[in-house]
A and B are shown apart, each in its own frame.
Chain A
């Protein structure tokens, strides 16, 4: 057994589904008239079917990074390729689970989930109702189809956002802390469901989280971000067998090793961030 954490090999191959090349994003801050560099010089290649988790302190540019891949934010410099094509905007091959849910408050749960495939050809047939219903069941919200977002808890709203993203079966799922507001028990169930879903459909996933355990449990690889400016600190291959159960993995030495390593990495970051403020 190796006791060292080896950086994952950077295979800049043509076979990667997402490739991020020297990506820099800076925002114009209207109030001060200055530029804020959110992320700088980020390189990453994601293979088809890979589950990549992204860890990093708050404000290090994780959402920004994901938004560029989603086509919502334009790179200041550098490039993002999806399936070999430069990203020029959002597309049906990528769906996003938003950190702030971004549900339409005037729509019921059912209609919010339907929003995920509304603009696609899928809606012309008759099977779409079943698909919407299936997605709702998958996230455990059966019985709440006719509720409005304001009648749901934060965690439930987040699950509506998840259902909306998976309903159209996109090739790539971009998830921004999708389990952040879910209670521990539901999170564990949902985490297992996400893992099963991904395994069954072979989706490629980029999954942002604040939880070290979650990053290890879900990821094939873990991307650790640092802040000021946001950049990739390291990329770690988890190398744990699937399926992984939270209970059995707790005693796995590899899990413990990864967890300690990530703790140290993030603690250093958090301290650095606190000092620089």
Chain B
């Protein structure tokens, strides 16, 4: 006994991302503006000498420094050092953040007792604690990892918490009707329903964590991109310093892009425009 539905023979076409026809034009405009700014900058420094090149090196010099940097093993050592700390700190923050966020979001008791403190801590400028961390944990990796963790964990906790609160009660009812209880309810219903929120928190956390890593290296460190940057600035090698900043911008944006791609992959059912404060 089969029923042929009215639509049974049609295949569903998955919605594709709409490419607006004007978008290409705007991209070209952006490229044009950037090119114009670089050209004016080059002209002002190299040809008109309005600004001393020692303070503001021209774009060509920065590009040369950038290329030189990529050829230096010292740079790659610093890169690995920074990324390692970032990844360890972020991994810890993700595990702790998701678990704590789910628990606090799901338990009304915890939500009313713990959540206000989490919001308070979130809005506290934790960067101010950086010197303290370095004093206590030393100049090595530990202080950087701790700083990454501290900065990354709060957005992850708070977003996961918000997600857990927003889980549709009817999904929970469906779980209960079909015998999904306790840990299983958490694993099969609450966690997947919260995942898009968690990923949004992780995205924010990663950006803040990277700031923490660089800051830690800057304030007192023996390695990493922040340390290199501090060294370059101290030596008054402005082109190198700016090239390093550009590297950091690239890393930060790649991380954001990676996580938002991940979010689209892992949670395609979720329209990310619905997430408040997604960045």
Chain A residues close to B by CB (< 8 Å): 67, 70-72, 89-90, 92, 94-96, 98, 100, 102-106, 115-120, 137-144, 147-153, 156, 159, 164, 168, 183, 185-186, 189-190, 193, 196
Residues of the A chain whose Cβ atoms lie less than 8 Å from the Cβ of B189: 104
A72-B177, A106-B193 known, 7 other contacts, Cβ within 8 Å: A92-B179, A94-B177, A102-B174, A115-B178, A138-B3, A151-B14, A186-B6
Closest to B270 in A: A105
17 A–B pairs (Cβ distance < 8 Å), ordered by A: A72-B173, A90-B176, A90-B177, A94-B177, A102-B171, A115-B178, A115-B188, A138-B1, A138-B2, A140-B5, A143-B11, A144-B12, A151-B14, A152-B12, A159-B5, A185-B6, A186-B5
- Residues of A near B168 (CB, < 8 A) are 102
The answer to whether B178 and A118 touch across the interface, beta carbons within 8 angstroms, is yes
On B, residues with C-beta under 8 Å from A are 1-9, 11-12, 14-15, 168, 170-171, 173-174, 176-180, 184, 188-189, 192-193, 195, 267-270
B273 to chain A, nearest CB (A): 14
The 4 A-B residue pairs whose C-beta atoms are closest, nearest first, are: A140-B3, A119-B179, A140-B5, A105-B269
Using Cβ atoms and an 8 Å threshold, which residues of chain B touch A118?
178-180, 188
> CA of A105 to CA of B166 in the docked complex: distance in angstroms?
14
Set of chain A residues within 8 Å of B9, measured between Cβ atoms: 143
Q: Could you tell me the distance between the alpha carbons of A151 and B7 in the complex, rounded to whole angstroms? A: 12
Is B173 a contact of A102 with CB atoms below 8 Å?
yes
Q: Please determine whether B178 and A140 come into contact, CB atoms closer than 8 angstroms.
A: no
Given contacts A96-B177, A152-B12, contact A104 B171 (CB under 8 A): yes
**Partner of A142 from B2, B11, B180 at Cβ < 8 Å:** B2
Interface contact B7-A150, CB-CB below 8 Å: no
Contact across chains for B5 and A119 when beta carbons are under 8 A apart: no
Closest A residue to B3 using CB positions: A140
Query: Which of B5, B7, B192, B270 meets A104, CB within 8 Å?
Result: B192
Residue of B nearest to A100 (CB): B170
Q: Which residue of B lies closest to A167 (CB)?
A: B178
Residues from chain A with a CB closer than 8 A to the CB of B171 are 102, 104
Contacts of B1 in A (CB 8 A): 138, 193, 196
Query: Which single residue of chain A is at the shortest CB-CB distance from B195?
Result: A106
Q: Which residues of B contact A152 (CB under 8 A)?
A: 12
The reply to whether A98 and B173 form a contact with Cβ atoms under 8 Å apart is yes
Of B184, B188, B189, B267, the most chain A CB neighbours within 10 A belong to: B188
Contact between chains at A119 and B184 (CB < 8 Å): yes
Whether the Cβ atoms of A147 and B179 lie closer than 8 Å is no
Q: Which of B171, B173, B192 has the most CB of A within 10 A?
A: B173
Chain B residues lying within 8 Å of A67, measured Cβ to Cβ, are: 173
Q: Given A90-B177, A92-B179, A156-B7, are A140 and B2 also a contact pair (CB < 8 Å)?
A: yes
- Which of B5, B14, B177, B192 is within 8 Å of A141, CB to CB? B5
Kindly state the separation between the CA atoms of A135 and B188 in the bound complex, as whole angstroms. Answer: 22
The complex places the Cα of A156 from the Cα of B180 at a distance, in Å, of 24
Distance of A116 Cα from B174 Cα, bound (Å): 9
